[in-house]
Chains A and B, each alone.
Chain A
């Protein structure tokens, strides 16, 4: 699976949009971009995934660049409960179904 690069930490003001970047310059054509988050002392929570089109669900939006070498997870109105470590993972469909976690971005939402 392709490697991803994320900033180790970010701050965001409560109520503002949180934009979390991820670089995956070696992504191949059959690899999806997945986002999970982990709130302290809990298991990871699935957020969203996409292949090449932008995606939106009730939690977040995923913007993937045209060349697919990077993506941005957007939390439109961050709340204190969004404070967590956010993991960007690139994985081929059915690639053993395992997820390989990198360091992630520790998002701190501040009042």
Chain B
């Protein structure tokens, strides 16, 4: 089956620093990747949709200048949390849709737990 990886799996950083999270599709090409955020005991909330070679589309209430998304290739998307603050501490999950998917399944990464001190 399709595999999506994320790196790092967890990160602790100081307030005010920036953190980059990578999302890779390992055995397929992903034209579209999605970034979600999940706070404790809550459901996943879509942050943005990223299409290879174009600007990401952000959901309402998500600051595009704070959460920078780059989807430079068909197998890699990155999310950079700029000037992180404690309220940005969350579980960040990416997902990818294969370029020629039949059935529209999305494949999710294992998530990255960000803790901002």
Chain A residues packing against B (C-beta within 8 Å): 32, 36, 38, 41-46, 49, 87, 91, 93-94, 96-104
Does B24 lie at the interface of the complex (its beta carbon under 8 Å from any beta carbon of A)?
no
List the B side residues contacting A32 at CB < 8 Å.
104
Report Cα–Cα, A42/B38, bound state, in Å.
11
Residue in A closest to B9 when the chains form the complex, CB atoms: A41
How distant is the Cα of A92 from the Cα of B44 in the complex, in angstroms?
A: 19
Q: Shortest Cβ distance from B29 into chain A, in angstroms?
A: 14
Q: In the bound complex, do residue B107 and residue A46 qualify as a contact, i.e. CB atoms below 8 Å apart?
A: yes
Q: Are A43 and B93 in contact (CB under 8 A)?
A: yes
B110 and A94 form a contact (CB under 8 A): no
Can you give 5 contacting A-B residue pairs, CB < 8 Å? A41-B91, A41-B113, A43-B6, A46-B105, A97-B97
Residues of chain B contacted by A36 (CB below 8 angstroms):
108
- Contact count A vs B, C-beta below 8 Å: 54
Given contacts A41-B113, A46-B108, 9 further A-B contacts (CB under 8 A): A36-B108, A49-B105, A94-B104, A97-B32, A97-B104, A99-B46, A99-B106, A101-B36, A101-B44
Interface string of B12-43 (1 = CB under 8 A from A): 00000000000000000000101010000001
Question: How far does the Cβ of A49 sit from chain B's closest Cβ, in whole Å?
Answer: 7
Q: Does B49 contact A (CB under 8 A)?
A: yes
Check A44 against B103 for contact (C-beta < 8 Å).
Answer: no
Q: From residue 62 to 76 of chain B, which have CB atoms closer than 8 A to chain A? A: none
Q: State the majority secondary structure of interface residues on B.
A: strand
Chain B contacts for A91, CB-based, 8 A: 104
Give the distance to chain A from B55, nearest Cβ to Cβ, in Å.
15
Report the Cα distance A49→B49, complex, angstroms.
Answer: 22
B46 contact from A42, A43, A44, A100, Cβ within 8 A: A100
Q: Which residues on B sit within 8 Å (CB–CB) of A99?
A: 34, 46, 95, 106
